């Protein structure tokens, strides 16, 4: 018996002394390395799951913020639309009133001019009458009385017309005050429109920047999705390779089982031979005992015969001694054969025990590997669902961006309408200014102007509040951008980790080729630990998926 060699190589397929194959030990080492790789992959997938959960939370928060911003913008747009409609109604009413008052002014001015012409004619007639005195006193008195009556009637009509003129002048002053208010409102609206133009330009610039950034972000996400798909393909290839290796191991296991069955049959045959040899040994021992008894008898007889015939018995003694030596040699040969058979039986029993232990370890490793493969498949399915969810979230964000762009376009169209309204207001104000240049009474107008200034200050405050709201919206957009940048960074970190894992897998595959053999008990302990860790991770993963489903259902 000689010991096993200290080191083994892949070329050494079987033992030089006993003929046992070393393939089982190499397979065990391969399974060990595969188990280590699966452990690392499980840890990596746990990290990915945690990171994907954080990404989902960030995306959900971003979606909520975008929805809130959209709601706020829609509310602001609705308020602006209502204000514009109110302003349009007020402006239309004022225009109608101005047109009515202008018509009244024209009528009053025409009547005044007519009355002035009549008065001048009457005055000229009176002057002519005073100068003309050839007529008689009665005729003159009658004409004078008649003229005085006419003048009294005309004075009454003039007084009534003056009252009407005063009322019309008051109305004109009111219209002037209202026109001044309208001028002030127009100036304020011009300022507001200029400010809104600046804000719109700033917002359009920011929207363009956001669109460019979002396009870049979408391109990066598409690249990441393609890379994730490549990683999926690689993992699927690895799984296919592992399944093929498992099938190969199964075939080898079947071959080994057939070999074991053959060995068992050989073992049965050896046991039968051993029993036969034992029977032969017992028979030979009985023969030896009988021969020894016969020898002793013959020795006794020889001694007696020596005493009787010392000369003739020497030859017989030599013959008997030769027979005894032959028998002793046969006995020794039989003992050697028995010893060798015992040794062979012990070696074969040890080999069978080793094969049984190896088969058990292989069965356990096969079961653990199948569990790991199933877990990897489940993880791949979970990753696919997560990627589909991320794609759906991206589509939602794109739709929200399109809605925001539509709202911005609507806002721009409303601004254009405001510009047109401003132009119409400016034209009307110019007309009113041309008509009101000849009119006075500025005290009332100043009081009305002060009231308008107060209204303007209130509108300025409201505009400042709107600017503050717009700045807050811009700050929220900046925070969204920061969150998107963080998401991009996390995705880049995941890609780097995937590359690092690929390198580790390649190194582990290289180490598998030159890995040394270890004890089966350690393998069993490691396999049990792996099974426990895998079960724990599956439970945690199921809990995480349950929590995510609850959150989605709440949303």
Mean pLDDT in each 10-residue stretch from start to end of the chain (555 residues)?
54 61 62 78 80 77 74 75 76 74 72 70 66 53 63 68 69 70 71 69 68 69 68 68 69 71 70 70 68 66 61 58 66 66 66 66 64 65 65 63 60 59 58 52 51 55 55 54 55 54 52 48 58 61 64 59
Residue 328: predicted pLDDT: 64
Which helix H or strand E contains 551, and what residues bound it?
Answer: helix 520-554
Within-domain flag for 196: yes
- Name beta bridge partners: 14: 21
- Name beta bridge partners: 21: 14
Q: How far apart are CA 11 and CA 22, in angstroms?
A: 10
Within-domain flag for 310: no
Q: Which residues contact 288 (CB under 8 A, 6 or more apart)?
A: 327, 331
User: Total domain count for the chain?
Assistant: 1
**Helix, coil or strand: residue 134:** coil
**Are 212 and 332 contacting, i.e. CB atoms less than 8 angstroms apart?**
no
Q: How far apart are CA 193 and CA 418, in angstroms?
A: 8
**Beta carbons within 10 angstroms of residue 314's beta carbon:** 12
DSSP 6: S
State the residue range of the domain holding 96. Answer: 23-305+316-545
Q: What share of residues in the chain are helix, strand, coil (percent, to 5)?
A: 90, 0, 5
With left for phi above 0 and alpha for psi between -120 and 50, is residue 19 left, alpha or beta? Answer: left
**Are 302 and 320 contacting, i.e. CB atoms less than 8 angstroms apart?**
yes
Sign of the alpha-carbon dihedral angle for 259, 260, 262, 266:
positive
Q: Which residues contact 280 (CB under 8 A, 6 or more apart)?
A: 334
DSSP secondary structure string for all residues of 400-463: HHHHHHHHHHHHHHHHHHHHHHHHHHHHHHHHHHHHHTT---HHHHHHHHHHHHHHHHHHHHHH
Nearest CA to 214 among 483, 33, 19? 483
Within-domain flag for 378: yes
Give Cα separations from 157 to 117, 126, 409, 522, 525 (angstroms): 14, 19, 62, 128, 125
pTM: 0.26
Nearest CA to 105 among 492, 439, 390, 519? 439
**Are 51 and 486 contacting, i.e. CB atoms less than 8 angstroms apart?**
no
Residue 51: predicted pLDDT: 80
Q: How far apart are CA 35 and CA 464, in angstroms?
A: 66
Q: Would you give the distance in Å from CA 311 to the centre of its chain?
A: 117
**Helix, coil or strand: residue 533:** helix
DSSP secondary structure string for all residues of 473-524: HHHHHHHHHHHHHHHHHHHHHHHHHHHHHHHHHHHHHHHHHTPPP--HHHHH
Within-domain flag for 58: yes
What values do phi and psi take at 92, rounded to 5? -65, -45
Q: What angle do CA 515, 517, 520 make, to 5 degrees?
A: 135
For every residue of 266-293, which 3-state class applies, written as one string?
HHHHHHHHHHHHHHHHHHHHHHHHHHHH
The HSE-up count of residue 217 (CA atoms within 13 Å, CB side) is 22
Sign of the alpha-carbon dihedral angle for 412, 416, 417, 419:
positive
Q: How far apart are CA 13 and CA 10, in angstroms?
A: 7
Within-domain flag for 189: yes
Within-domain flag for 63: yes
DSSP secondary structure string for all residues of 83-99: HHHHHHHHHHHHHHHHH
Residue 515: predicted pLDDT: 44
Nearest CA to 239 among 10, 538, 34? 34
The HSE-up count of residue 50 (CA atoms within 13 Å, CB side) is 7
Residue 513: predicted pLDDT: 47
Q: How far apart are CA 49 and CA 379, in angstroms?
A: 9
Q: Would you give the distance in Å from CA 62 to the centre of its chain?
A: 11
Within-domain flag for 340: yes
Q: How far apart are CA 412 and CA 420, in angstroms?
A: 13
Within-domain flag for 359: yes
Written as six digits, the tokens of 445 are: 């107008």
């Amino acid at each position: 018996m000689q010991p096993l060699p200290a080191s083994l190589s892949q070329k050494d397929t079987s033992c030089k002394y006993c003929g046992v194959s070393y393939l089982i030990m190499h397979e065990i080492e391969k399974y060990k390395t595969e188990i280590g790789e699966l452990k690392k992959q499980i840890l990596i997938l746990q990290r990915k799951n945690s990171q994907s959960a954080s990404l989902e939370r960030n995306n959900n928060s971003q979606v909520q913020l975008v929805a809130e911003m959209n709601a706020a913008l829609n509310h602001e747009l609705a308020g602006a639309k209502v204000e514009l409609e109110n302003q349009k109604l007020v402006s239309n009413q004022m225009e109608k009133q101005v047109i009515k008052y202008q018509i009244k002014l024209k009528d009053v001015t025409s009547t005044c001019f007519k009355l002035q012409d009549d008065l001048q004619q009457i005055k000229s007639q009176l002057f002519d009458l005073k100068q003309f005195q050839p007529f008689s006193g009665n005729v003159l008195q009658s004409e004078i009385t008649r003229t005085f009556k006419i003048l009294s009637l005309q004075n009454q009509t003039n007084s009534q017309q003056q009252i009407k003129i005063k009322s019309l002048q008051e109305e004109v002053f009111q219209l002037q005050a209202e026109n001044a208010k309208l001028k002030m409102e127009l100036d304020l609206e011009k300022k507001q429109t200029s400010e809104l133009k600046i804000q719109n330009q700033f917002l359009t610039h920011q929207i363009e920047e956001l669109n460019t950034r979002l396009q870049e972000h979408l391109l990066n996400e598409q690249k990441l999705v393609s890379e994730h798909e490549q990683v999926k393909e690689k993992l699927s290839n690895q799984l296919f390779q592992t399944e093929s290796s498992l099938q190969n191991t199964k075939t080898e296991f079947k071959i080994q089982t057939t070999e074991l069955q053959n060995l068992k049959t050989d073992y049965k045959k050896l046991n039968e031979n051993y029993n036969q040899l034992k029977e032969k040994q017992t028979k030979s021992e009985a023969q030896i005992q009988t021969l020894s008894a016969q020898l002793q008898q013959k020795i006794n007889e020889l001694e007696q015969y020596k005493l009787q015939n010392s000369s003739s018995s020497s030859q017989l003694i030599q013959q008997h001694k030769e027979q005894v030596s032959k028998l002793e040699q046969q006995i020794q040969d039989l003992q050697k054969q028995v010893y060798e058979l015992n040794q062979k039986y012990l070696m074969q029993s040890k080999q069978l025990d080793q094969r049984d232990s190896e088969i058990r370890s292989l069965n356990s490793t096969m079961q653990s590997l199948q569990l790991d493969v199933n877990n990897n498949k489940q993880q791949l399915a979970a990753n696919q669902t997560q990627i589909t969810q991320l794609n759906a979230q991206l589509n939602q964000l794109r739709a929200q961006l399109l809605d925001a762009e539509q709202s911005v376009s609507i806002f721009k169209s409303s601004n254009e309408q405001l510009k047109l309204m401003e132009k119409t207001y400016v034209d009307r104000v110019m007309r009113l200014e041309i008509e009101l240049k000849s009119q006075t009474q500025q005290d009332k107008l100043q009081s009305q102007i002060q009231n308008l200034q107060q209204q303007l200050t209130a509108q300025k405050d409201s505009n400042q509040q709107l600017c503050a709201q717009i700045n807050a919206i811009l700050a929220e957009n900046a925070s969204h951008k920061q969150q998107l940048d963080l998401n991009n960074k996390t995705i880049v970190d995941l890609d780097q980790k995937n590359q690092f894992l690929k390198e580790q897998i390649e190194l582990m595959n290289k180490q598998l080729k030159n890995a040394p053999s270890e004890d089966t008990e350690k393998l069993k302990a490691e396999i049990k630990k792996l099974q426990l860790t895998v079960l724990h991770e599956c439970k945690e993963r199921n809990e995480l998926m349950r929590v995510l489903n609850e959150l989605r259902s709440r949303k």
